[in-house]
Amino acid sequence: MRKWVTAWLAALSLLALGWTVVNAQAGGWIVWLYDSAAGRMTQITPQGAAQDFILPLPAGFDRYPGRVAVGRGGQPFAYIVSNSATFQGQLVVADQTAARATFNLPLTFADSWEFFASEQVFRRDNGAVALGYSLEGGGWGIIVFDIAAGAVTHTLRHDTPLAAALGLPAGFGLTPVVRDFSGDAVTFTLVQAGAGGAPAYDSYTWSLSAGTIAANPTWPGLDSDIFAPTGEVVMALPDDRLANARAAFTFYQANSLHVYDPFTGARFPFYNAPDRTLALPRFIQNGERILVDTMDAAERYRWLVIGRDGVEWGALPAAVRILDARGLPDGFVYTTDAFAPGVTTLVYVNTRGPLNAGAPIWTSLPGAQPVIAWAGGVGAVAQAAATPWAKLADAVYAPPTAYAPAGAMVAPAQVTPLAPLPTAVAPAQVVVATPVIVRPLAPGGLAIVNTTEGDQLNVRLGPGLGFDVVQRLPAGSRVVLLEGPRYADGLAWWKVRTAAGIEGWCVESVEDRGTRLQTLLPG
């Protein structure tokens, strides 16, 4: 376990730890903190707390997520709420006053923002977000959600020809973690949910306009950070080409820092720690330097600041305990619980002067455990200094072309908008189900779920068997009929709203042992 100085000792003397009050830039930066217990967003400036608010929690949902993705520039906010009884999830995009758009997810085991929630999941104009998830019954999917339209515009699944042609795995809990959404390209990493960390993962880039997907060897590390102005990525990785002591470490030794340069498509190591393993690299000081946590084989920890040239610029005092850190134009901020039990403190460090433990800016209420959701400068910020990266070994490059098998594009029927679907159906698509209703179902009315032998009725994202299941309803459940019927796969479908507030599509009746079972009865 990590051996830390106790909280009372850490707070005993700020001067003993090297704490120095700095002249923070007035209005020079903003930090958003997120407390998942209350769904609270708190904005911090150099002067302290500026404002806070509670994220909207839609009706039918009672649980906030562990992480929130904050858009480029500090808003909007994207997050996944859930119902603790039904396990139903909903994507919500909100501003500081209300939800702007929502989307009901299929029943999922894990989603990508549990691993990596940052502004990189937003398109550059903040007009769309990309979200990956693993399905409850196995398999995975990625959606691109247009915020203004409130609709999913692109879908990639494990069972589409596009993924199958590359032999992408689809085991239970395998989650596509979205790493970047640039232009029309979504880069994602396949991560096994519920497992311990791995030294490297398989990553891919999905082109939305071309309908292609390609392996991307330049993004193997989940432990990484992106410098938004340039798109450069820094990550902690094992590299056997460089000096190491991996036999001394229980699992693996991340003995190097690599950088990925999107302008050249190259990834290469620029820093080597022969006797330490590295974690949590963060761009700081306007991208000019890197903050990284290090540990030797005896589990002694030290936070270092590294230059782009691979030179160690300094180390934080050994007693500093950092929970998370984010870069700012003149340094970085970090959260710590070293001052008092159950209290989280945000600390600002100005790295353009002598390196020290920084100055406390804000302290939470007792029991709160906020995390850093976003941090950035205010107004125009100069580009990072043009210090060249050191290059300690040959680079790895992304492939120049992508593989695009014929028919790989997602069929229109797999794209599910939030708005009601058109009711007109071409005659050739209509397959009329056998009518057995005594009193007709009608939009605006109620219906009761009628299943046998403990079976549950699937509620799907759209009217067809190819759509994901978003909820399962036991017999006797009451639903509101919103729209229908629509005909697909030889079945009649109704759009319903469940008691939990979930909207989706159910079949009107099914074939059950040679007889027609009415699964929705007028209620």
347-366 average pLDDT score: 94
**How far apart are alpha carbons 27 and 46 in whole angstroms?**
7
Which of the residue ranges 63-72, 177-186, 352-361, 412-421 would you say has the lowest mean pLDDT?
A: 412-421
Which pTM does this prediction carry? 0.76
Residue 397: name the closest of 250, 293, 258 by CA. 258
E runs forming strands in 437-507: 446-449, 457-460, 469-473, 478-488, 491-497, 503-507
On the question of pLDDT at 439 being above 50, the answer is no
| Residue 13, pLDDT above cutoff 60 | no
The 3-state DSSP class for residue 438 equals coil
Give the domains, in start order, of the chain with CATH numbers.
7-397 (2.130.10.10), 420-522 (2.30.30.40)
pLDDT of residue 409: 28
Picking from 52-56, 114-118, 277-281, which range would have the lowest pLDDT averaged per residue? 114-118
CB 249 within 8 A of CB 297: yes
Burial of 486 (0-12, 13-18, 19+ CB in 10 A): buried
pLDDT per residue over 106-139, tens digit each? 988 899 998 889 999 999 899 999 999 999 888 9
Distances (CA, A) of 468 to 15, 173, 366, 480: 58, 16, 42, 20
Query: Is the distance from CB of 74 to CB of 51 less than 8 angstroms?
Result: no
> Mind listing the pLDDT tens digit for each residue in 297-317?
999 999 999 999 999 999 999
Among 277, 278, 335, 286, smallest CA distance to 307 is for 286
Predicted local distance difference test score (pLDDT) of residue 379: 64
Place of tokens 């432990």: 223
Question: pLDDT band at 196, cuts 50/70/90?
Answer: low
Mean pLDDT score, 289-296: 97
Instruction: Write down the pLDDT at residue 392.
Output: 97
H/E stretch holding 69 reads strand 69-70
pLDDT value at position 52? 93
